[in-house]
Amino acid sequence: MQARGISKSFGGSQALADVSADVAPGEVVALVGENGAGKSTLLKVLAAVVRRDAGEVTIDARPYDPRSQREAEAAGVALVFQELNVNMALSIAENVMLGHLRDFRCFGILDGRALKAAAQAILDRIGAEFTVDDPVDSLDLGQIKTVEVARALALNPRYVFFDESTAFLNRDEAARLLDVIAELRRQGLGIAMVSHHLAELFAISDRMVVLKDGALVGAYDTDGMDEERLTELMVGRDMSGGMFPASRPTAVGDPAIEASGVTTRAMSGPLDLTLKRGEILGIGGLKGSGGEAIVAALAGQDPLSGGEIRLHGAPYRPRLPRDGWARGIATLPGDRTGEGVVTDFSVLENLTLATRPRRMGIVSDRRAMRQSADEQVASLGIRAQSVEMTTGDLSGGNMQKVVLGKCLAARPRVLLLNNPTRGVDVGARSEIYRVIRRLADDGMAVLMVTEDLHELIGLSDRVIVTRMGAISHRFAPGAELTEEEIVKWMM
């Protein structure tokens, strides 16, 4: 399979620009690059989940131009998504054959036996240690992922793509999935995969295709590549110095938040944590390992079942997010469009959604709204045609700035950030970092949960790592931080 000159843009931002790459049968190609480099987009273009704007793809020198995912599958190309897409109301066999259930009709009625046999054959082929007769809810996350791999194999593809397929898996589950991938390679399938665990890619891939900001950096044999050189290629020398603003450790002051013995439903153990004014406390960890639960507890999203929190020395026991806002705690949620902004609202309305300026207690104060929004647009450099523009039409980076602006309009003293630059392009990301640093320098207490190691190391004054719902390690302030050291505490 050869892809030449692939380009794709979403709205105004160029996700892929003139990218070329090859995948041969019997090899594993790793796509590597930073967040937003275009890896997932490339896979989705090749599997026809999104349409390319330009470029040509050939399979065996014949043009390959599917208009839908179904056509791609018919042409022998399947994609395994990052998210878990198994329907818990269906059986394993039905999940494996989802999309092809019509092929198992016998006089219009589903032939359950043939369905099971066909699904079991695929499970056997990839060496699954469970059978189609097991109940779906008995599967662990790794096995659910295996069901999805089996589904991708249902039409007997020649190329299978994996998009961050190990993202939600623990180490054992991930190792088993890698075994499955190795088995598929042995059977002669061409495989391309994206993963943010570089170690996995070194272990399994034959070649590495490096992308940066939507453009191709180059393709390299995995033999002879080392992690240092790869990181250099991914990040690019020019970014390493300028991405993160320098911290001023002298600015750190009194404790803003002191949590002792705090427990919520989402935590696996009691939480003790101090957040000081003027510092950026970074919380690292895999998705769902506890960082988000800490934010949810402090922001009032999850009710406390035990322990106590002191805010600037006074007791603080929030019941709803509004209690947090009322006490000067602003929260930037992790899901921009589902939690951060009302996409149908104008930029103006979203920027004032948390403050809701009013006169006489009930009347919406248009002038104050306008003033507040203009202030945030100017100070954050939000690029919108006007504040009347519908927020959903903004680029990811600008939309994230609107969420940040909504927080800052409330003039908080404590800022809780959940993955503040997820899915944000490089330019907007460095602007957001500068804003966060400036706020901390001015005395704001900032707690940042992030899955991005560069961000964690680059922006934090102090780092805490979580694992399986509890804190696994606290690095001393100013400690020398390396990715390896942090990852060790995440696993």
Partner 1 sequence: MDDVTPKDAPAARPAPAKSWRTRAQRAFPVVLLVVLCAIFGLLSDRFVTIGNLLIVMQQSAVLLVAAVAMTFVIVNGSIDLSVGSMIALSALAAASLSDTMGVWAILPAMGVGLLCGLVNGVLFAYGRVPSFIVTLGTLVIFRGVVLLFTRGAPVSISDADFLNLYAGRLGGVPNTVIIALIATAFGALIFNHTVFGREVRAIGGGERVAALSGIYVARVKLGVFTLCGLLCGVAGLLQSARTMAATSQLAQGLELDVIAAVVVGGTPLTGGIGRIRGTILGVLIIAILSNGMNMTGVDPYLQSIVKGLVLIFAVFLTIDRSKILIIK
Among 157, 282, 291, 340, interactor with partner 1 by CB under 8 A: 340
Query: Taking CB under 8 A as the criterion, which residues in 402-441 touch partner 1?
Result: 406
Q: Does 369 bind partner 1 (CB under 8 A)?
A: yes
Q: Closest approach of Cβ 133 to partner 1, in Å? A: 32
Residue count, binding to partner 1 (CB under 8 A): 39
CA separation, residue 426 to residues 14, 22, 44, 116 (Å)? 12, 26, 21, 47
Q: Closest approach of Cβ 303 to partner 1, in Å? A: 13
Q: Does 266 bind partner 1 (CB under 8 A)?
A: no
- Stretch of 72-80, 277-285, 388-396, 452-460 contacting partner 1, by CB under 8 A: 388-396
Phi-psi region of 228 (alpha: psi -120 to 50; beta: other; left: phi over 0): alpha
Q: Does 343 bind partner 1 (CB under 8 A)?
A: yes
Q: Does 331 bind partner 1 (CB under 8 A)?
A: yes
Question: What's the rounded Cα separation, in Å, for the pair 262 and 273?
Answer: 9
Secondary structure (3-state) at 14:
strand
| CB contact at 8 A, 32 and 198 | yes
Burial class (CB in 10 A: 0-12, 13-18, 19+), 388: exposed
Identify the bridge partners of residue 32 per DSSP, sorted by sequence position.
210
Output the DSSP codes for 173-238: HHHHHHHHHHHHHHTT-EEEEE-S-HHHHHHH-SEEEEEETTEEEEEEESTT--HHHHHHHHH-HH
Residue 381 DSSP one-character state = T
Among 23, 144, 341, 459, interactor with partner 1 by CB under 8 A: 341
Q: Closest approach of Cβ 333 to partner 1, in Å? A: 5
Q: Does 388 bind partner 1 (CB under 8 A)?
A: yes
Closer of 19 and 354 to partner 1 (Cβ) = 354
Q: Letter for the amino acid at 379?
A: S
Question: Phi and psi dihedrals of 74, rounded to 5?
Answer: -65, -30
Among 51, 171, 265, 322, interactor with partner 1 by CB under 8 A: 322
Question: Phi and psi dihedrals of 79, rounded to 5?
Answer: -125, 135
Q: Closest approach of Cβ 322 to partner 1, in Å? A: 4
- Stretch of 94-102, 213-221, 270-278, 344-352 contacting partner 1, by CB under 8 A: 344-352
Q: Does 386 bind partner 1 (CB under 8 A)?
A: yes
Among 356, 383, 438, 488, interactor with partner 1 by CB under 8 A: 356
Q: Letter for the amino acid at 403?
A: V
Helix 141-152 vs helix 112-125: crossing angle, to nearest 10: 110
- Stretch of 71-79, 117-125, 133-141, 332-340 contacting partner 1, by CB under 8 A: 332-340
Q: Closest approach of Cβ 434 to partner 1, in Å? A: 25
> Token pair for residue 344?
């149908």
Question: What's the rounded Cα separation, in Å, for the pair 421 and 397?
Answer: 8
Closer of 144 and 348 to partner 1 (Cβ) = 348
Helices (H), 79-170: 92-96, 112-125, 141-152
CA gyration radius, the chain: 24
Q: Does 326 bind partner 1 (CB under 8 A)?
A: yes
> Token pair for residue 418?
């959940």
Site string for partner 1, 273-312 (x = CB under 8 A): --------------------------x-x-----------
Question: What's the rounded Cα separation, in Å, for the pair 152 and 160?
Answer: 7
Q: Which residues of 353-363 are buried (b: 16+ CB within 10 A; e: fewer)?
A: bbbebeeeeee
Among 131, 187, 260, 364, interactor with partner 1 by CB under 8 A: 364
- Stretch of 41-49, 248-256, 318-326, 463-471 contacting partner 1, by CB under 8 A: 318-326
Q: Does 345 bind partner 1 (CB under 8 A)?
A: yes
Q: Does 113 bind partner 1 (CB under 8 A)?
A: no
Q: Does 81 bind partner 1 (CB under 8 A)?
A: no
Q: Does 389 bind partner 1 (CB under 8 A)?
A: yes
Q: Letter for the amino acid at 340?
A: G
Question: What's the rounded Cα separation, in Å, for the pair 362 and 1?
Answer: 63
Q: Does 339 bind partner 1 (CB under 8 A)?
A: yes
Among 82, 346, 395, 472, interactor with partner 1 by CB under 8 A: 346
Q: Does 367 bind partner 1 (CB under 8 A)?
A: yes
Helix 426-441 vs helix 366-380: crossing angle, to nearest 10: 110
Q: Closest approach of Cβ 388 to partner 1, in Å? A: 6
Write down the residue that tokens 């510092």 correspond to.
Answer: 279
Closer of 78 and 354 to partner 1 (Cβ) = 354
Q: Closest approach of Cβ 406 to partner 1, in Å? A: 7
- Stretch of 67-75, 251-259, 326-334, 427-435 contacting partner 1, by CB under 8 A: 326-334
Residues lying near partner 1 in the complex (CB under 8 A): 299, 301, 320-322, 324-326, 331, 333, 338-346, 348-349, 353-354, 356, 358, 362-364, 366-367, 369-370, 385-389, 392, 406
